[in-house]
Structure 1
């Protein structure tokens, strides 16, 4: 989970004091961002190594910020109903999570110049060998299990609450795996209502130009394919799928896709007042008008 995506979702769909849940929390990125933004956080993680690290990261954030509450539970997210305390049911304002990606989308790489060894070295580029880890499941099995996880998370989501799922397409032996569209179907199957589909660019800005920041493995796979004459393109975005639990709750923040009933006075992006129905020659940006 990219910290910027988690933080944006938390700001948009929750208020200070709300509870945020990540049922596949990894090292706890979403939980830490929730604490930094004055929310409470709870997460579950299947692999004990990462659950322990997520718990340490969460407690470090709480100690540093001196506010917020949270916990990380080690266990299979397909059994949230037994892992999480019953009093959390209907209490969660926001679920933020992501399914496991293929091995080509994650890991750390060090080059020869950094390690002093020939070629490159890889670290954390593979999941554990536990066959029950969903990372080892086929795509079809993964989606069935992920839909079940979303149904379990919905038990704890309050009426009108939001679920944000990031999903990145990847390639396996040149074949594109369209995980985002499959996750969209899994959310519907879990009883959630799709409300938005956004794209988060995996890029930075340098000298007024976008600089792509995909994983090392995606770049290598694309370059190797092009050397073989396959015109593959680099995947440079992550889909952000936004769902809502049916029902209403007065505590739920208005979604950015829902218009206000009474519009305030209009202003342009530079802060200048704009008359309704008239052109706006903005003095702050004359080249744009």
Structure 2
């Protein structure tokens, strides 16, 4: 539900299956990341909130979706990824985009984005037009299904975990909320006045309890000094003749079916909540430097 008093809109971002959206732009190994953003969501946000030549940042870059889509749209993409495995894979995807002759540039850094300003070159402060990211939230909403065949064992789940146990995805909700607040505070430091932050998230259930990740994202953004301007819906389902074409995973369908059987009616979620925040255009700091586009040419390595 949208927060009262804030505008919202529906983004038609699920017209094709996710596999088709990544074909040709991302390596086959990219499918192993548990929390990939739909390329069309990143693409829509970049087209809406930036102009060609702008700087776009993802502080939790994963396989580099935001960076790659920014490069294809003639923007400069920067990603920061905590885990070495995914940072290396994101760098391969950036190299693939470069090989395809894109007009934008891209770079991936490895590090803990809770210390974001210390990970990025000082000339980035006050230069970023748009941040696109998504908080990590455990294995229950991610992964792929493999069936061993008729009567040959249990359904197996894979590609549903990030990596090390110290990842924010596996911390308790309070630690995740504080960590995400720290990340967004760092993002505010590098955003230019009037720059936007787009966060995709969805609620999920842990041991039957509903965890309000979108609400946490709003609270974290406001605690970091950002202004909430929109709450939108990005469809992960297709729309054909006014009818939704669901693309829910096996486990989503099973969990909803089990809940209905237990007398707890639930909806099959077919969208991501999109939280749009903004840095106050009147907010400045003596430590934040504005950069011209020529000064951010460092983003190609």
TM-score normalised by the shorter chain: which range applies? 0.7 to 0.9
Q: Check the 8 A contact 2:71/2:102 in 1, yes or no.
A: no
Helix, strand or coil at the partner of 2:256: helix
**By how many angstroms is 1:248 displaced?**
5.4
Say whether residues 1:177 and 2:211 are aligned partners: yes
Say whether residues 1:123 and 2:172 are aligned partners: no
Helix, strand or coil at the partner of 1:94: strand
Q: Check the 8 A contact 1:47/1:75 in 2, yes or no.
A: yes
Paired with 1:131 and 1:104, the residues of 2 have a C-alpha distance of 15
Per the alignment, residue 73 of structure 1 pairs with 109
Per the alignment, residue 259 of structure 1 pairs with none
Per the alignment, residue 246 of structure 1 pairs with 280
Per the alignment, residue 13 of structure 1 pairs with 49
- Quickly say closer, same or farther: Cα 1:116–1:157, change in 2 above 3 A: farther
Please tell me the root mean square deviation across aligned C-alpha atoms, in Å. Answer: 2.2
- Which residue of the other structure, out of 24, 30, 35, is the alignment partner of 2:66? 30
Per the alignment, residue 30 of structure 2 pairs with none
1:113-262 alignment runs, 5 A limit: 118-128=153-163, 130-206=164-240, 208-247=242-281
Paired with 1:116 and 1:205, the residues of 2 have a C-alpha distance of 36
Per the alignment, residue 257 of structure 1 pairs with none
Paired with 2:90 and 2:151, the residues of 1 have a C-alpha distance of 31
Paired with 2:148 and 2:154, the residues of 1 have a C-alpha distance of 5
- Quickly say closer, same or farther: Cα 1:210–1:66, change in 2 above 3 A: closer
Larger radius of gyration: 1
Paired with 1:238 and 1:151, the residues of 2 have a C-alpha distance of 23
| TM-score between both structures, scaled by the size of structure 2 | 0.77
Q: Check the 8 A contact 1:170/1:235 in 2, yes or no.
A: no
**By how many angstroms is 1:112 displaced?**
3.9
Helix, strand or coil at the partner of 1:43: strand
Mark the runs of 5 or more structure 1 residues left unpaired by the alignment.
252-289
Say whether residues 1:3 and 2:44 are aligned partners: no
Moved over 6 A (4+): none
| TM-score between both structures, scaled by the size of structure 1 | 0.80
Question: Quick one: higher RCO (CA 8 Å, sep 6+), 1 or 2?
Answer: 2
Per the alignment, residue 85 of structure 1 pairs with 121
**By how many angstroms is 1:228 displaced?**
2.7
Paired with 2:128 and 2:182, the residues of 1 have a C-alpha distance of 18
Helix, strand or coil at the partner of 1:195: strand
Paired with 2:77 and 2:157, the residues of 1 have a C-alpha distance of 31
**By how many angstroms is 1:4 displaced?**
1.1
Mark the runs of 5 or more structure 2 residues left unpaired by the alignment.
1-36, 284-289, 292-301
Paired with 1:55 and 1:246, the residues of 2 have a C-alpha distance of 32
